[in-house]
Every structure is written in structure tokens, then in C-alpha cells.
């Protein structure tokens, strides 16, 4: 697979085969947990708060769409975790 987190087709525009996505279906329970995984949570998208807790001094860029209605909640988390200057 290319170094592209959002590419869904190969250079010739054909879709990647299912084998290119070995973990697709794990989170939904359609596939079993692979060796070494401890829970379905290992395959979820972390919340911003959990990222702030896990990486307390890392610089994290937060990008929001202009039409987002969650900006006040995101701003509150940023201030709660003193991350405005990080």
C-alpha cells in the first residue's frame, strides 16, 4: 500500500484488494482480534481527551472544519489540559 493514509485506489485507479486492509472488520467484530491485540478498543479512534492524557507534552495539531459545532467543546478540552501553547 502506498504511503497515503487516504488513498483508496492504486495508481491505475483500480481499488486495492481486501487483503490490503487486514484489520478491516476487527472493530465491528466481523474479524477476530489479531495476535497481540487486547481488546476491540485497540482498533478504535482515540478521543482528543485520551490523546491529551496519553501524550501530555506532545505538540498536537487540531484541525476543525469551519462548519463544526464542536469547537466550544474542543476549546474547553484544550484549556482544561493547558494545551493552548502546545
pLDDT digits (tens, 9 = 90+) for 24-82: 889 888 999 999 888 888 888 889 999 999 999 999 999 998 888 999 999 999 999 99
Query: Are both 55 and 77 inside the same structural domain?
Result: yes
**DSSP calls for 14-27:** PBPPGGG-TTTTTT
Last residue of one domain, picked from the residues 12, 28, 43: 43
> Does the pLDDT at position 10 exceed 80?
no
Residue 9 has pLDDT above 80, yes or no: no
Residue 11 structural domain = 1-43
- Whether 49 and 38 share a structural domain: no
Kindly state the DSSP code that residue 46 receives in the 8-state scheme.
P
Instruction: Examine the domain organization and report whether 18 and 39 are in the same domain.
Output: yes
1 and 37: one domain? yes
Please report the pLDDT score of residue 6 as a whole number: 62
Q: What is the domain count for the chain?
A: 2
CA atoms within a 13 Å half-sphere pointing along the CA-CB vector of 26: 17
Same domain, 52 and 82: yes
Amino acid at each position: 500500500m502506498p504511503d497515503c493514509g487516504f488513498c483508496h485506489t492504486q495508481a491505475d485507479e483500480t481499488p486495492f484488494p481486501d487483503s490490503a486492509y487486514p484489520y478491516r472488520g476487527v472493530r465491528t467484530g466481523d474479524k477476530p482480534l489479531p495476535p497481540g491485540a487486547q481488546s476491540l478498543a485497540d482498533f478504535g479512534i482515540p478521543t482528543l481527551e485520551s490523546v491529551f492524557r496519553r501524550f501530555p507534552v506532545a505538540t498536537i495539531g487540531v484541525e476543525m472544519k469551519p462548519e463544526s459545532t464542536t469547537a466550544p467543546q474542543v476549546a474547553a478540552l484544550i484549556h482544561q489540559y493547558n494545551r493552548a501553547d502546545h
